[in-house]
Structure 1
Amino acid sequence: MAIDATQPYDDSNIFARILRGELPCRKVFEDEHVLAFEDINPLAPTHVLVIPKGAYVSWDDFSARASGAEVVALVRATGQIAREAGLVEDGYRLLANTGLNAGQEVPHLHVHIFAGRPLGPMLAR
């Protein structure tokens, strides 16, 4: 079910629960501002979710309200994860869905890192 990214942050969402330690995750990276973990239902051989630790619903929300340090941390962490996993040479895809039409399912900003096989076109035609 897609969510409306203009709604207020819902602190009962699955990523908020992971951040609070209520649910486990297979952590790939963590720093002051970012947590990254393996997707529990991967869509590619490598499927990592990178999330800010702050309460941001979507990319739009994050870009409007996050501190400069949070924005830099998310971008740098995403690149570092890809480099350390050896994804750069063969390539990888970043995906951040925002809102209903994009199919955002969890109302917490998250960036997917997909890699490990040819991923096909960006959008189904």
Structure 2
Amino acid sequence: MSFQVALGLEANCLTGYLKNISRNVAEKFLLTIKENDMSAYDSNNIFAKILRGEIPNHTVYEDEKVLAFLDVMPQARGHVLIVPKTQALELSDLPLEYAQAVFATAKKIIAAQRKVLQRHGIVQMQLNGQEAGQSVFHYHMHLIPGHLHELGEHEDKMADHAELAALAAKLREAIA
């Protein structure tokens, strides 16, 4: 590998690192949530609003404990979020029966993603706390089809809702 190529790779890594630092600094000023303080749970967070039906979503799976839906700003096609129907900032706050429901749901959705999207690699990701990169303070799990190195950042614009609706229908059918 030439020096110029190596330098270019290092510059790209540094640029990504600086973007993360800038984002983290901004988050520290904008967010006032205390780690593991359930009194800081914001019942008006976007997932709480989705659970209450105040914001529409493209549901993939739902039962009495969880709602799973397509991310409207996906990191890859078929990016699903699993959200428990209880107030929990992160995994350490999540009651065991809801954690079990989240993981049981993840197994169903991963099988459906593999069948529908023909992708065998599924990134299962869950962030605990602001320092780890959590941006919505309601526990949730990401299931993102594809290779880890293919994943982009969350899109800065919404995906096409007709495409999301069609994909959600295919995933629901594969789960049934």
Q: TM-score range by the shorter chain?
A: 0.7 to 0.9
2:132 aligned with 1:99: no
Amino acid at match of 1:120: H
The count of aligned residue pairs is 117
Q: Relative to structure 1, is the Cα distance of residues 4 and 33 closer, same or farther in structure 2, using a 3 angstrom cutoff?
A: same
Task: Find the counterpart in structure 1 of residue 99 from structure 2.
Answer: 71
1:5·1:107 contact (CA, 8 Å) conserved in 2? no
Q: Relative to structure 1, is the Cα distance of residues 5 and 39 closer, same or farther in structure 2, using a 3 angstrom cutoff?
A: farther
Which structure has more strand as a fraction of its residues? 1
Q: Alignment identity in percent?
A: 36
2:84 aligned with 1:49: no
Task: Find the counterpart in structure 2 of residue 111 from structure 1.
Answer: 141
Amino acid at match of 1:46: G
Structure 1 outlier segments of 4+, above 4 Å? none
Bigger radius of gyration: 2
Amino acid at match of 2:133: G
2:50 aligned with 1:18: yes
1:17·1:23 contact (CA, 8 Å) conserved in 2? yes
Give the CA RMSD over aligned residues: 2.2
Q: Secondary structure at the match of 1:112?
A: strand
CA deviation map 1:6-50 (0-9, x unaligned) = 232210100000000000000010001010000010011221000
Q: TM-score, normalised by structure 1?
A: 0.83
Gaps of 5+ in 1: none
TM-superposed CA distance for 1:96, in Å, is 0.5
Q: Secondary structure at the match of 1:86?
A: helix
Q: Secondary structure at the match of 2:82?
A: strand
Which structure has more helix as a fraction of its residues? 2
Higher relative contact order (CA 8 A, sep 6+): 1
Task: Find the counterpart in structure 2 of residue 36 from structure 1.
Answer: 68
Amino acid at match of 1:70: Y
TM-superposed CA distance for 1:84, in Å, is 1.7
Question: 2: CA distance between counterparts of 1:61 and 1:70?
Answer: 10
Gaps of 5+ in 2: 1-26, 151-176
